[in-house]
Amino acid sequence: MSGFMIIRDVMAKNIKTVKPDDTVHAAVQKMNKFDIGSVIVVSSGRPIGIITETNILRRIVEPRMDPATVWAKDIMTSPLTTIDENDAIEEAAKVMAEKKINRIPVMKGDKLVGLISSTDIVKASPTQLGILDELLKVS
């Protein structure tokens, strides 16, 4: 095998989503229920943002906001960086390093089909660790 791997081979496929008008509390409940670090915000079937643990810490916990009274759309990261399922995992690692992010929603045309994280990349291709290490140096 040449070592060339594509994103759809290593991405997580069972993605959890919330709607823009869901509360942050509902998003956190979903993240806790499924033991995940992020949810994708979807409107009319299209991904428009992402809520990560970092969003919650910085935009809810530190300013002491009530997660039951804040909408997902108010704390999500947007615009959303996405990547095609047929791209090489090296491309995902490069985008993560350049944009200083750890997760990228994966698309098949206009459809959300997965999520790839820096952890997924390291597990699948430890040689990508050097590229992902740049995330830590610049973060």
Q: Does any domain span residue 82?
A: yes
Q: Does any domain span residue 45?
A: yes
Range of the domain at 78: 7-138
CATH at 92: 3.10.580.10
pLDDT number for residue 124: 83
Q: Judge whether 34 and 85 are in contact, CB under 8 Å.
A: no
Q: Does any domain span residue 33?
A: yes
pTM of the model: 0.86
Q: How many domains are there within the chain? A: 1
The model's pLDDT over 89-122, given as tens digits with 9 standing for 90+, comes to 989 989 998 999 999 999 999 999 999 998 898 8
Nearest-CA neighbor of 77 among 101, 111, 108, 106?
Answer: 101
Angle (CA) 47 52 54, round 5°:
145
Average pLDDT score, the chain: 90
Q: Does any domain span residue 1?
A: no
Q: Does any domain span residue 2?
A: no
For helices 89-99 and 129-138, the axis angle rounded to 10 degrees is 10
